[in-house]
């Protein structure tokens, strides 16, 4: 269910998960006004690139104590420089202004986790990743190697959206919230939700609340 601002602010517990931001600072700032301060906020990665305000996005996330998992654009920024420039890195460099600034933010990227896992007393555990991860999930204590990074960070999941009724059996029965594959509206099933609604492509920045699975969205305003 898509909530109004008033309805969203009435939710005073749980976790809001924000889709791929890609430097859309103004939309992020507006979306934050819909979120009750008592809720935790987590981003699915791809905070940077393509949009014009990557530095402002990171600063806002740090200032407001939001959390984020690693996205493929963050790993490109510190590991695949030439590829990064071809996929939105130029806009990010312009927002950082100089290399000294960028080095500080690279350290921030390096320390982002591959996934975040939350347990609830009366709900399914929540798994937050950049891309769809249910077919890879082996439990929170499994030593995930770089072999898993390619799928969790890079694999698009268009084929998932053909059969909403699919059921995924996983270790500890997690519910997976992710982004990476841009879609028009949030796609929510009994086992997962894609919350990347392509704000940087002139659509919307969206967030989903767990465990209610209600959503909020802000139209691109740049």
| Rounded distance between C-alpha atoms, residue 45 and residue 50, angstroms | 14
Phi-psi label, residue 22: left if phi above 0, alpha if psi -120 to 50, beta otherwise:
left
For tokens 């500890």, name the residue.
172
Name the CA radius of gyration of the chain, rounded: 16
Q: Which residues does residue 128 pair with via DSSP β-bridges, in sequence order?
A: 116, 177
- Residue 180 is predicted with a pLDDT of 94
Query: Which residue ranges make up each domain of the chain?
Result: 5-219
> What is the CATH architecture assignment of 5-219?
4-Layer Sandwich (3.60)
Give the pLDDT of residue 191.
94
How does pLDDT run along the chain (222 residues), one tens digit per residue? 999 999 999 999 999 999 999 999 999 999 999 999 999 999 999 998 888 898 899 999 999 999 999 998 888 766 655 556 666 667 777 777 755 666 777 788 889 999 999 999 999 999 999 999 998 899 988 888 767 777 888 787 767 766 666 778 888 999 999 999 999 999 999 999 999 999 999 999 999 999 999 999 999 987
The answer to whether the pTM exceeds 0.85 is yes
Buried b (16+ CB within 10 A) or exposed e, 28-64: bbebbebbeeebbbbbbbbbbbbbbbbbbbbebbeee
Q: Given this model, what pLDDT does residue 25 score?
A: 97
Residues 6+ apart with CB under 8 A from 28: 18, 21, 57, 60, 205
């Amino acid at each position: 269910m898509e909530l109004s601002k008033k309805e969203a602010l009435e939710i005073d517990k749980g976790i809001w998960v924000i889709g791929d931001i890609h430097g859309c600072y103004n939309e992020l700032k507006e979306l934050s006004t819909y979120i009750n301060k008592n809720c935790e906020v987590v981003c699915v990665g791809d905070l940077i690139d393509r949009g014009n305000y990557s530095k402002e996005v990171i600063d806002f996330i740090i200032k407001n104590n939001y959390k984020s998992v690693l996205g493929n654009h963050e790993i490109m920024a510190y590991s695949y420089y030439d590829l990064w420039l071809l996929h939105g890195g130029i806009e990010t460099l312009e927002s950082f202004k100089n290399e000294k600034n960028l080095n500080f933010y690279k350290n921030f990227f390096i320390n982002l986790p591959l996934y975040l896992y939350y347990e609830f007393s009366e709900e399914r555990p929540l798994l937050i990743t950049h891309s769809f991860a249910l077919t890879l999930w082996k439990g929170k204590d499994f030593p995930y190697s770089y072999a898993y990074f390619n799928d969790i960070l890079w694999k698009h999941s268009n084929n998932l959206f053909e059969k909403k009724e699919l059921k995924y059996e996983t270790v500890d029965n997690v519910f997976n919230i992710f982004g990476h594959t841009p879609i028009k509206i949030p796609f929510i099933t009994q086992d997962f939700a894609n919350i990347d609604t392509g704000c940087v492509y002139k659509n919307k920045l969206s967030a989903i609340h767990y465990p209610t699975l209600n959503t909020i969205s802000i139209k691109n305003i740049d």
